[in-house]
Chain A
Amino acid sequence: DAGVIQSPRHEVTEMGQEVTLRCKPISGHNSLFWYRQTMMRGLELLIYFNNNVPIDDSGMPEDRFSAKMPNASFSTLKIQPSEPRDSAVYFCASSFYGSGNTIYFGEGSWLTVV
């Protein structure tokens, strides 16, 4: 299996621009997670989907952030408009739902907003 695939790997954008991050989970996994990692706050869960349905979005910072999962093999995280404080690494992860199942992370999307 190719693992969790994220794109783009790196993006530099100007403040105010729209940013769209993409994720393809591991085939057959029914849970998908978007995490953000910064030096100051570490790893934080933004939102998670189960069977393509958003279950918990309490970690989404504000209305500028939105996430969708139109089907089992694709999800997007959008930031509009972007701000310099959104600069971080955004990770997508997937798993089978269940307490005994490992979560697999993608390589991350490194976002810099200038």
Chain B
Amino acid sequence: KQEVTQIPAALSVPEGENLVLNCSFTDSAIYNLQWFRQDPGKGLTSLLLIQSSQREQTSGRLNASLDKSSGRSTLYIAASQPGDSATYLCAVPSKANAGGTSYGKLTFGQGTILTVHP
């Protein structure tokens, strides 16, 4: 059974710092890995999706890397801002119960609660 772990559970940094969020998964046979952001009282917003054949993806100040063999992904946030404060979750797809592929049956980590203070 796939298990996803995120560390740290919470992170508080001053504005402007570069920071790294970590995600590890136990079953390296993944199709992709997604990073999401969740603001309080809101749904999840997809930030980056890395296919299993890719090593990294970038979007603005965000960069996500993937090392399948070691079962790890990192989300790098450059020049953090107070608006980056949110919970960040990583997720990987699992196989459907009946076999076959279920790209949307995601196993989530517990998330990293990020606070960026001015």
Q: Which residues of A approach B to under 8 Å, CB–CB?
A: 4, 31, 33, 42-43, 45, 48, 55-58, 91, 93, 95, 97-108
Contacts and interface: CB of A to CB of B under 8 A. Distances in A.
Contact of A98 (B52, B98, B103): B103
The 7 closest A-B pairs by CB, nearest first: A105-B43, A58-B97, A99-B31, A43-B108, A105-B44, A102-B46, A56-B97
Given A55-B96, A55-B98, A58-B97, A108 B43 contact: yes
A17 to B, nearest CB: 24
Interface residues of B, number: 28
A59 B42 CA distance: 22
B32 interface: yes
Contacts of B51: 99-100
Interface of B: 31-32, 34, 36, 42-46, 49, 51-52, 89, 91, 93, 96-98, 101-106, 108-111
A45 B89 CA distance: 15
B68 to A, nearest CB: 13
Contacts of A33: 104-105
Nearest to B105: A45
B103 A95 contact: yes
Given A100-B32, A105-B44, A93 B108 contact: no
